[in-house]
Amino acid sequence: MKTPTLTTLAILFIATPAAANIHQQLSQCSSISDKLERLICFDELAANVDPALALAPAAKASAADTATQATSQVTSQAATANADTSADFGKTKKSASDELQKVYLTVAKVDSDARGDLVVTFTNGQAWRQVDGRRYKVSVGQEVYIERGALGSFLLGQDDRNGAVRVKRVD
């Protein structure tokens, strides 16, 4: 039990002056303006560093710093989350897509494409094409709606009918 402890202490005492020297050499390398010369300096420094000496103080210092940073981040995130949650409690969340979910339009023209699917043109100039193969009858002058469906799709339907057909905007 005493032997590993003595070995660890010996490494720490030897590593402390070496670490100070390494930091000084790193700052000298980072002050070089030429990219290639700076890279060569860092490569030479890395080749000359003893891995046992370089890792001992850095690991100890980085573990303490990491623990302190993690604690402060968790504390600040928890405080922010509690403030946001209590301020928004009971409110309905609105996203950008909630602004316009359904549009009512009047049919100006009904055509069919080569596959027999509907191509509906509305009085505002928009044209929508049917993308699924179901039958759906629409007449000129009817008021229909186009609403957002799942996964970015759109549905054309009427309020007095149960069915709807998937459509895609042509223009």
Can you tell me the distance from the alpha carbon of 22 to that of 26, in angstroms, rounded to the nearest whole number?
6
pLDDT tens-digit map of 43-70: 888 888 766 555 555 555 565 566 666 5
Can you tell me the distance from the alpha carbon of 161 to that of 157, in angstroms, rounded to the nearest whole number?
7
Indicate the pLDDT class of residue 102, thresholds 50, 70 and 90: confident
Max Cα separation, the chain? 95
pLDDT tens-digit map of 150-166: 888 899 999 888 889 99
For the chain, domains (ranges, CATH) are 2-88 (no CATH), 97-169 (2.40.50)
Q: Nearest Cα to 45, choosing from 64, 21, 16?
A: 21
Query: Looking at the DSSP assignment, which residues form a beta bridge with residue 147?
Result: 102, 155
Which DSSP helix (H) or strand (E) runs through 22? Answer: helix 2-30
Query: Looking at the DSSP assignment, which residues form a beta bridge with residue 167?
Result: 130, 154
- Token pair 């229909």 is found at 144
pTM over 0.85: no
Coil, strand or helix at 132: coil
- Which tokens sit at 57? 């103080």
Q: Nearest Cα to 104, choosing from 164, 160, 156, 140?
A: 156
For the chain, the C-alpha Rg in angstroms (whole number) is 35
